[in-house]
Structure formats: C-alpha cells, structure tokens
Chains A and B, each alone.
Chain A
Amino acid sequence: MVLVLAIGDLHIPHRAADLPPKFKSMLVPGKIQHIICTGNLCIKEVHDYLKSLCPDLHITHGEYDEDSRYPETKTLSIGQFKLGICHGHQVIPWGDLDSLAMLQRQLDVDILVTGHTHQFKAYKHEGGVVINPGSATGAYSSFTYDVNPSFVLMDIDGLRVVVYVYELIDGEVKVDKIDFKKTATTRSSN
C-alpha cells in the first residue's frame, strides 16, 4: 500500500510559473510515501516544494536543471518492484520504445520512469512497465504541440501496481487507472 508519485518536466520558472492550482490542491503532504522526479524542475524552490510533500525524493538530472548534482539515472526498490528513473533526453530517439527498453534492460528494473517528451505514456513492454508522467505544468515542448499537464501516482501493493494518471484537460482533472501485475517469476542474473 505504498503510494509513489511520479512527476517531472515542470520547467519552472523558464516555461511555466507554477503547477496548476487544481494539481496543487491535490498534492498534500502525508499521503505519499515516495516521489520520483524525472528532472527539469528546474530551480531549487521546486525541489523544496516537492520535498515538503514527501521527504523521500528521488530526482534525476534533466538538461535544464540548475542543480548539477542530480544523477543521470537512479534505481530504487519499493516493495516487490524495482524502479528506474532517467530523464530521457539521453535516450535517443526521444521517446522511442526500443531505446527505452534498452535502457530498462541496462538498469534491470521492472518499472522505468522517464520524461522529456511532455507526453503521458504508460505501457507494458517486454516484461516491464514504462511510464512517462508527462509534464506536470504542461510546459512547452520542442517535441509536440499537444501538451496537457499530467502526473502519475503509483499504488504499489505486493506484486500489483495500480497506476493512476491525473491529467488536466480543459481545466478539469481527469483520472485514469491502469493495473499492472508483476509475474512472480524469479529473474536469473546473468
């Protein structure tokens, strides 16, 4: 019953001023146990704000982040799942399934969280799950014109993860839910 927030690409203050108020009202401290941030926050104030939501914060370095101490990739395990984080601008072509799958195999994770495309994506791919939380502020993207503010909340419970997607479409928060189950097969390490 672990709630993990996946969020990223806020681009504050360069491309956006702040999170949408409806998102801000939903993100209250106390409910979320971990935060995974793909990067491009960009400034320390946003980092502090996220830290106030939950003290357990994991960030990777996006190309516009002003704090250069963030790592390029990060892995952590929550419950039965292994999660990997990367901003995604390093993986070319940007947003390409196969390249991301390559990264996933490299990191050896069950769930890979990347960003950079500012588009929400969540799909199963070769035994793992790839999640792109999109841009939480709906910041301008060089990749696509159609950007909606979005973020992802994962509910990890045993071998099952429920992915809740929160999107701001036409001023309304729309929620969607996707279920993934991890097969309890033992992975052999090569």
Chain B
Amino acid sequence: MSPAAIERPMLESACSKSSDESRRSFANLRGVQWRTDLGILPPLSSSTIDDLRKVTADSRRRYACLRRHLLVDPHLPKDGSNSPNLAIDNPLSQNPDSTWGRFFRNAELEKTVDQDLSRLYPEHGNYFQSTGCQGMLRRILLLWCLRHPEYGYRQGMHELLAPLLYVLHVDVERLSEVRKEYEDHFTDKFDGLSFQENDLRYNFDFKKYLDSMEDEIGSHGNATKVRSLDELDPEIQTIVLLSDAYGAEGELGIVLSEKFMEHDAYCMFDALMNGAHGAVAMADFFSPSPVGGSHSGLPPVIEASAALYHLLSVVDSSLHSHLVELGVEPQYFALRWLRVLFGREFSLENLLLIWDEIFAADKNKLEKGAGDDTGSTFGIFSSPQGALISAFAVSMILYLRSSLLSTENATICLQRLLKFPENIDLRKLIGKAKSLQALALGPSISSSSPRCGGAYNHSKSMVVRSHTLPSDSISPKTPLNMVPDSYWEEKWRVLHKAAEQRNGSSGKQNPTPKKGWTEKVRLSLSRTASDPSPAKAGCGNDHKPSVRRRLLEDLSQELGLDEDTEKAGCDEVSGQKDHICKVVEVENQDGVNNDFTCVAEERCLSGIAGSEENSSLFSDPSSPLSGANNHENDSEKSSVASNSSIDETDDHPEANHEDTTLPVSHLPNNATLNSGDNNEATGKSLAVPKERKLLSGKFQWFWKFGRSNDGEETSEKGNGALDVTKSANDAGSQSSTVCSSVDGSCYSSTTGDLVDQNMMGSLRNLGHSMLEHIQVIESVFQQDRVQVGSSDNFSKNVLVGKGQVTAMTALKELRKISNLLSEM
C-alpha cells in the first residue's frame, strides 16, 4: 500500500482497486481499519482471514495475562502459596512490595484516573459515562500505567483512549446490525431449525414447530434470500468470516467482539502510545524530559510545538511573526492539540475523520539526505505521519489567520486558538494539511535554521540552553548574506537602518539609537571581537552587560514608585518586548524584573529608543512597578524616545538647565539636612555640563526614590512632600529627558576616548550617588525623629514604617551600587 495510492474512502471516492479493496472492505469498520493502521492487525491484502484472527487472539491473550498479573486482589494468596509471610503481607505493612502495598497504590492511581474519567465526553455521556465503559476505560488506563511506570498517568491519556473504545463499540454495533440482517450466516441451523429455539427440553410442541416452519418460509420470502457466503457483498462477507464462531481461534478470534472490546482497546491504545512500527509515539508527548536522540534537549512536546511554528514560519511568515511578537508561544495551545491529537478541538465525528487520516499516514521514517548534515532538528518531521500531524496543526492555525491577525492581545489570540470554531469544513482542513505535509517533508525545512529555538524555552531548566541556542543559531558559519537571517537579526538590522536614516533628520516619533555607557562598553567589546554585526554582539554577548543591567534594574524594582504617566498604546512594542523577555530570561523568574530585562533587551535589539542603559535606568523606575506594566514601560520608552529625539536639537543645554533646576528646586522643600545635597548639586552644576547633568540626573533619580517613598501616602510630614511627589511624578518624564539629553550629549561625541572619560565620569557619579544615599538614610532617620516628636501616635507608626522602608531601600541601592562598582 504505497502512500500515493492511499485515498480515504470516507472522504473521497476510491480509485485504484488493488490497494483499496482491502480498505473498502473495512470502510465502515473503523475499529478494524485503525487496528490495521496502528499495526496490530496485518493488512488484509497480505494476509488471510485466519491470520487476522490469530493475531487478534494473541493480542487479547497478552492483555488477559497482563490483567491477571497486575490487578491485585490481596485476598488471593500471592504466587499460589497458602501461607503468605504475614509480616509483609498485612494491610498495614510498610513494605512496598507487599500485595497490600500494591493494592493501595493501585487504589490511588484509580482515584486519579477516575477524576478524569468522570469528566470525559459529557455530551456523549450515554455511552462514555455508562458504568461498563467507565470500568473498561479505568482498567485499561490503570494497566497501561502500571505497565509503563516511567510515564505514569497523565491527564489526556483518557481522551486518547476514549475514541478508540468508541470505534470498537461502533463496530460491534454494526456487527449486530449485520447479524440481524443476515442471521442465517451467524446462527447455527440444524435441520432448518434455529437451535436456540429447540433446546434440550424435548417437549416437542408440534404446533409450535409448524408455526416456526411457516415463519421461516415466510421470512425467506420477504427478506433477503439465503445466499451462500460467496454471494454476499464482500464487506458483509468479511464481517461474517471475521465473526464466525468456528473460525480460527474460535471465539477468541472473532475480530469484532463485544466480549473482548477491552482487550482490543488496550492493544490499540498501547500501539498508539508506544508508536508501534515507527508511528509517532504519543507517550513521548507526555514525558517531561527530553527523549534520547533528540537534537535539542527539549521535551518532545515542546520540540514538536517548535516544529509547528517553524513550519508556520515557512508557510506564512507574517502570521508567524505576528504570533511571535505577541508572545504567543506554540506550546500554550499546541500542548493540548498534540497530547490529545486534536481530541479537544473537534467534535467526536470530526475527530474520527481526522484520526482516519493520521493513522493512515505513512509511518516510515525518512532517510536523511547525504548532504543534510545538520539534519532536521525536529523529530516530528522525520516521518510522514509526524509531518501530517504538524501540518494539520498548522492548517488549523492558518484557518484562524484572519482572527489572529486582527487582535494585538496575546490572551485573545490564545483564546481563539484554544476555542476552535465548531462548524468547519473538515475536508478543506485536511486537504490543506496534506499539502503542507509535503512541504514539511521537503528538504527546505531542515536547511533553514530553526528560528530562535531558544525563544521557545521558558522553563527554568532550559535556561542555559536558551542562551546557547540563539547564539548558536545566530553565529553563522557562512557569511551573513547567504544564510537566511534569524528573525531578530533581521529585525534589528531593519530598525537600525531606519533609525540611522532618521538620525539625520529630526523630530520624528521613532527614536534614534542612543548609547549609554554600558552600550558603549558593549560597542567597544564588539569592536574588539571579530563579529561584524553589532546585533550579534548585542545578542551574543549578553551575559556581562545583561547582568549589570539586571542589577540596575533590580535597583529600580526595589523602589516602587507610583507613576501616572500617560499611557501610550504601544502594544506592538510591548509584544516585542515580551518576546525578547523570554529570549534573555536568565535567572529571573520575577515577572517584573522580566519586564525590565525585556525593556533593556529590546532596546538593544530593536533599536527603539536606543539601548541606553541610563535611559532605561531612569525611565523604568519612574514607571510603576506593580504587576507587569508593559504599558507604562512603553509610555516611558516612547516618552523617552520622543524626548530624546527632541533633544537632538541644539536646545540641549537650555533644556537641561531648566530640567535640572526643577529637581534642584525640590530639594529646598525638604528638611534642612538636604541642603547639603542641594549645595552639592548646585555646586556640581557649575562643573562640566555633561557631568553635571549626568550626575544630577542620577542624583535626582535616586533622590526622587527616597522622597517619593516617603511621599507615597498623604504624608503628615508637612514637608510639602505631596508637592514633591507630584513634581517628582511630573519630573519623571523630565528626568528621563534630562538623562536622555545627557546621553544625547554624550552620544554626540562618540569616540573611544570619550568612552573612557564617560566611564570615569560615571564611576564618579556612582560614588556621589552613594554618598547621597547615605545622606538620604540619615535624613530619613532625622526626619523620623523630628516627626515623632511633633506628630501624634498614629502618624508616628506610619512614619517610622515609612522611614524604615526608605532606609531599607536606600541600603539596598547602596549594596547594588557597590556590586556594580566591584564589577567594573
């Protein structure tokens, strides 16, 4: 049965006779068809009915043996011995090997399984929720899990099993229909009489006999004539032969048997899970650890999800990039799709059709081409069946294309993906899947590098790999032009080009890349390295700057500021940022921290608002840190961006001066202790302009934190802290202006020498800010003492608490700064 000749009789009319005859004979018997596809039964074309029956019987015997062996009845003596060792075999025994121990473990497993079974297919509840069916499902699952302890029971296995049992049930019903129609062939007729009616009681009722004779003749006349077996429709013929109670292996060999439905279902389930004869092993999708032989060290289901996205990117890159930007990772929805083989997305009838296709697909593993050194990193593409599964998933995504592209919200996207619409044209989906399958199997898939495979890793254990993977994929062995660029390189280059164009002009909303001191460091690093592309440096040499950056962002995170900046609806930006978050996510599981790393990373990669460390520093803290406030960050970024672009004009000094006066003016509002700081600030203002600006910017930032922490609530400090807060808030954007303008001025004189000068300057600034922080703490305590004396008890507690908080935060900042310095 060559793959080319396979046409599903249910969807399309059969064509070639030779391979199809056997299939057509099973056209309505899915149970037998699937068993053949799964490899349990040999194909009818190449074996006789007797062979089929023998194989069936063997598989059933195996299951019965297994059941006897594994289902534990503690009352029965173990191994037939009549005197079990009671010290081990008592119900309270701690010994794990005792029969009671196993009994209790099985009971636990059964309870878990029952939880899922009770919720199985409620819409078809009259079959699936019946006790007989539930009992069978429970036993099958229990035995399979006992047999495969390395997998255990995972939710979803029951949904794989249920349709298998269902098709067997349908087959048995079909059999009973046929039986009713052609009962002559099924029942034992001796002397023209049905043997059941004349049983051993020899009360030969003549009247009854005559009546029955008449009935027989009558029925013969009305119904179908009794034909010999050969005259029957081949389908019916096979059914009869398969179900003949006297055929090979007797009753055990009846292929469509109600009595052995459990046995058959178990065999099918086992074959499906273990991937018999090269099929995709569904059990792999349930295993949390990478399967041996996988190229990437990912769990198979994650790898398959990545493969899915890879195929999508080849087919429809805009949709792929859209989803990636939104941060919709494939495993969010693909996990459910793959693990249950789309069981949750379609109604039972449609699902059966889909599984027809999947099971019928060719299972032979493809041979790797000679020149295909890297090979496909996705195991799922290694066989046509796997390719069909991923192709089907991709065609599902493509079906939802318009609705996915229309939304910018990741949650809505996911919702749409997870709630696949009801009324669909399944033929179209399957047809598309088939065409994509050919594409998936083609050579083009393996040669193009998997796009940022690391991007799909979000688990902690995969963290290390997430770093290596992008760098691996990004550092090309061939010149950049030849190999299709990784997604992010392209993006960066595009934006960088655009940014550079705009660098000449001014006043555009899109910001130019500004460079902070860390970025300069990175540039200098990249200059020494041989890699030409700064993007690579940005991506590849993440570690050092990213660590530093993260510390600085920790700083900003600690001091929670309330900010009421305007919200710029930069969803796309946030989406991008989210994605990069995941790329560079190293030790941080803290969502907020992620945002900051993202922000910083995105700056580095996308070039939006440059990759200013300072600006990220200053703008991020000024945005609220509660939850994942992407929007705030966006607003900050965009405000920074807009500000920085504005600052490109020659109004720098004036603007800076104005801005610095503002924060400086705040200081007199505070306690007298701060006057020292003021003096320092003003003193510095006479210093070199850029240093002063940098310093005061930093100072103001640090100071703002100290102040606003105190001034978060309506304070009784009576320092006009409210004003401070408000103005601090207002100055939030301005401070970023200050900083970015500072950076702008820094940037305007980019040379290697200036880099060093700035380094020294920044070190000095850090030192100053440390000093200021100490003063903050002192001031806080002083104020507390002052306030404690003057205000009532209620405010005292509040103040003390606040003071402590500020002190703590300031101390933390100091620590961070010292870390930074030590690093430098």
User: Are A31 and B75 interface neighbours, CB within 8 A?
Assistant: no
Select one of B75, B92, B104 contacting A26, CB under 8 A: B92
Give CA–CA (A162, B92) in the complex, Å. Answer: 13
Distance (Å) between the CB of A151 and the closest chain B CB?
10
Nearest chain A CB to B595's CB is how many angstroms away? Answer: 45
Q: How far is the CA of A3 from the CA of B94 in the complex (A)?
A: 16
Are A26 and B94 in contact, CB atoms less than 8 angstroms apart? yes
Chain B residue at smallest Cβ distance from A155: B91
* Segment of A37-45, A70-78, A133-141, A173-181 in the binding face: A173-181
Asked if residues A166 and B92 are in contact (CB atoms below 8 Å), the reply is yes
A29→B93 CA distance, assembly (Å): 13
> What is the interface size of chain B, counting residues whose CB is below 8 A from a CB of the partner?
9
Asked if B529 is at the interface of the complex by the 8 Å CB criterion, the answer is no
Q: Which residues of B contact A177 (CB under 8 A)?
A: 86, 90
Bitwise, A11-46 to B at CB < 8 A (1) or not (0) is: 000000000000001111011000000000000000
Chain B nearest Cβ from A178, distance in angstroms:
11
Taking CB as reference atom, which chain B residue is nearest A177? B86
Q: Report if B15 contacts A (CB, 8 A).
A: no
Q: Is A3 within 8 A of B91, CB to CB?
A: yes
Q: Do the beta carbons of A175 and B90 come within 8 Å of each other? A: yes
Bound CA span A33–B93, Å:
16
B residues less than 8 Å from A63 (CB atoms): none
Mark each residue of chain B from 85 to 119: 1 if its CB lies under 8 Å from any CB of chain A, else 0: 01100111110000000001000000000000000
Q: Are B91 and A153 in touch, CB under 8 angstroms?
A: yes
A164 touches B91 (CB 8 A): yes
Q: Which residues of A contact B87 (CB under 8 A)?
A: 173-175
* CB of A108 within 8 Å of the partner chain: no
CA distance A25 to B86 in the complex (A): 17
Chain B residues with CB below 8 A from A155, complex form: 91
Q: Is A157 an interface residue (CB 8 A)?
A: yes
Cα A174 to Cα B92 with chains together (Å): 12
A130 to B250, CA, bound (A): 53
Determine which residue in B75, B90, B92 has the highest number of CB atoms from chain A within 10 A of its CB, and name it: B92
Q: Are A166 and B91 in contact (CB under 8 A)?
A: no
Q: Assess whether B86 is in contact with A31, with CB atoms less than 8 Å apart.
A: no
Smallest CB separation, B723 vs chain A (Å): 61
- CA–CA, A115 and B284, complex, Å: 57
- Asked if residues B86 and A153 are in contact (CB atoms below 8 Å), the reply is no
State how many angstroms separate the Cβ of A93 from the closest Cβ of chain B: 33
Please indicate the chain A residues that have their CB under 8 angstroms from the CB of B86 in the complex.
164, 175-177
Residues from chain A with a CB closer than 8 A to the CB of B92 are: 26-28, 31, 153, 164, 166
The answer to whether A157 touches B90, judged by C-beta atoms less than 8 angstroms apart, is no
Give, as a whole number of angstroms, the nearest-CB distance from B660 to chain A: 68
Residues on A with beta carbons closer than 8 Å to the beta carbon of B104: 30-31
Minimum CB–CB distance for A72 against chain B, Å: 29
| Complex Cα gap A141–B198 (Å) | 75
Does the CB pair B94–A25 fall under 8 Å?
A: yes
Chain A residues closer than 8 Å to B75, beta-carbon distance: 157, 162
The chain A residue with its CB closest to the CB of B85 is A175
Task: Determine how close the nearest CB of chain B comes to the CB of A37; give it in whole angstroms.
Answer: 17
Closest approach, in angstroms, between the C-beta of A101 and any C-beta of chain B? 29
Quick check: B90 and A166 within 8 Å, CB to CB?
Answer: yes
Q: Which of B75, B87, B91, B104 lies at the interface centre, i.e. has the most chain A CB atoms within 10 A of its CB?
A: B91
- B107 shortest CB reach to chain A, Å: 9
Chain B min CB distance to A13 (Å): 25
Q: Which residue of A lies closest to B100 (CB)?
A: A31
Q: Which residues of B contact A173 (CB under 8 A)?
A: 87
- Kindly state the separation between the CA atoms of A177 and B91 in the bound complex, as whole angstroms: 11
The CA-CA distance from A155 to B94 in the complex, in Å, is 17
Residue of A nearest to B73 (CB): A1
CB proximity of B413 to chain A, nearest CB, Å: 44
Alpha-carbon distance between A159 and B91 when the two chains are bound, in angstroms: 19
B91 to chain A, nearest CB (A): 6
Which residues of chain A have C-beta atoms less than 8 A from B93's C-beta?
A: 26
Question: A122 CB to closest chain B CB, in angstroms?
Answer: 15
Task: Name the residue on A nearest B108 (C-beta).
Answer: A30
Q: Is the CB of B94 within 8 A of A153?
A: no
Tell me, rounded to whole Å, the shortest Cβ–Cβ distance linking A144 to chain B. 25
Tell me the nearest residue of chain A to B83, going by C-beta: A177
Taking each of A30, A164, A175, A177, which has the highest tally of chain B beta carbons within 10 Å of its own beta carbon?
A175
Q: Tell me the bound Cα distance from A177 to B104 in angstroms.
A: 19
- In the bound complex, residues from chain B placing their C-beta under 8 Å from that of A162 are 75
A31 to B90, CA, bound (A): 12
Chain A positions 125-183 with a Cβ under 8 Å from a chain B Cβ: 153, 155, 157, 162, 164, 166, 173-177
Which residue of chain A is the closest to B92 with respect to CB atoms?
A: A26
Q: Which residue from chain B places its CB closest to the CB of A176 in the assembled complex?
A: B86
CB-nearest residue of chain B relative to A5? B92
User: A162–B73 Cα gap in the complex (Å)?
Assistant: 14
Which residues of B have CB within 8 Å of A25?
94
Q: Which residues of B contact A157 (CB under 8 A)?
A: 75
**A148 to B90 CA separation, bound complex (whole angstroms):** 19
What residues on B are CB-neighbors of A30 within 8 Å? 104
With A and B bound together, what is the CA distance between A173 and B85 in angstroms? 13
Kindly list chain B residues whose C-beta atoms are within 8 Å of the C-beta of A3. Answer: 91
Please report the C-alpha to C-alpha distance between residue A50 and residue B93 in the assembled complex, in whole angstroms: 19
CA distance A43 to B87 in the complex (A): 31
Max chain A CB contacts within 10 Å: which of B86, B87, B90, B94?
A: B90
Contacts of B90 in A (CB 8 A): 153, 164, 166, 175, 177
The complex places the Cα of A142 from the Cα of B104 at a distance, in Å, of 40
Chain B hits for A164, CB < 8 A? 86, 90-92
Distance in angstroms from A51 CB to nearest chain B CB is 18
With A157-B75, A175-B86, A176-B86 already in contact, the answer to whether A31 and B91 are too (CB < 8 A) is yes
How far in angstroms is the closest Cβ of chain A from B96? Answer: 13
A157 vs B75: C-alpha distance when bound (angstroms): 9
Least CB distance, A2 to chain B, in whole angstroms: 11
A174 to nearest B CB, angstroms? 7
Chain B residues within 8 Å of A28, by CB: 92
- Expressed in whole angstroms, the Cα–Cα distance for A57 and B91 within the complex equals 19
Cα A153 to Cα B93 in complex, Å, equals 12
| Separation of A188 and B781 alpha carbons in the complex (Å) | 90
Closest to B103 in A: A1
In the complex, A166 Cα to B86 Cα: how many Å? 10
Distance in Å: Cβ of B376 to nearest Cβ of chain A: 48
B752-794 vs A, CB cutoff 8 Å, 1 = contact: the mask equals 0000000000000000000000000000000000000000000
- Distance in angstroms between the alpha carbons of A166 and B75 in the assembled complex: 18
Give the distance in Å from the alpha carbon of A175 to the alpha carbon of B86 in the complex: 6
Q: How far is the CB of B106 from chain A (nearest CB, A)?
A: 12
Residues of A within 8 A of B94 (CB): 25-26
CA distance A183 to B87 in the complex (A): 29
Q: How far is the CA of A51 from the CA of B75 in the complex (A)?
A: 27
Residues of B within 8 A of A27 (CB): 92
Q: Contact mask B533-552 → A, CB, 8 Å, 1/0?
A: 00000000000000000000
> In the complex, A153→B89 CA distance in Å?
13
**A117 CB to closest chain B CB, in angstroms?**
24
Q: How far is the CB of A77 from chain B (nearest CB, A)?
A: 21
Q: How far is the CB of B73 from chain A (nearest CB, A)?
A: 9
Q: Once bound together, how far apart are the Cα atoms of A175 and B89, in whole Å?
A: 9
Would you give the shortest CB distance from B72 to chain A, in whole angstroms? 11
Chain B: CB-nearest residue to A28: B92
Q: Whole-angstrom distance between the alpha carbons of A173 and B92 in the complex?
A: 11
Residue of B at shortest CB range from A30?
B104
Tell me the minimal C-beta distance from B108 to chain A in angstroms: 9
27 pairs across A/B with beta carbons < 8 Å? A3-B91, A25-B94, A26-B93, A26-B94, A28-B92, A30-B104, A31-B91, A31-B92, A31-B104, A153-B90, A153-B91, A153-B92, A155-B91, A162-B75, A164-B90, A164-B91, A164-B92, A166-B90, A166-B92, A173-B87, A174-B87, A175-B86, A175-B87, A175-B90, A176-B86, A177-B86, A177-B90
Interface residues of B (CB under 8 A from A): 75, 86-87, 90-94, 104
User: Other than the known A3-B91, A153-B91, A166-B90, what 4 A-B pairs have Cβ atoms closer than 8 Å?
Assistant: A31-B91, A155-B91, A173-B87, A175-B90
Instruction: Give the 8 A-B residue pairs with the shortest CB-CB distance, closest first.
Output: A175-B86, A26-B92, A175-B90, A164-B90, A175-B87, A177-B86, A3-B91, A153-B91
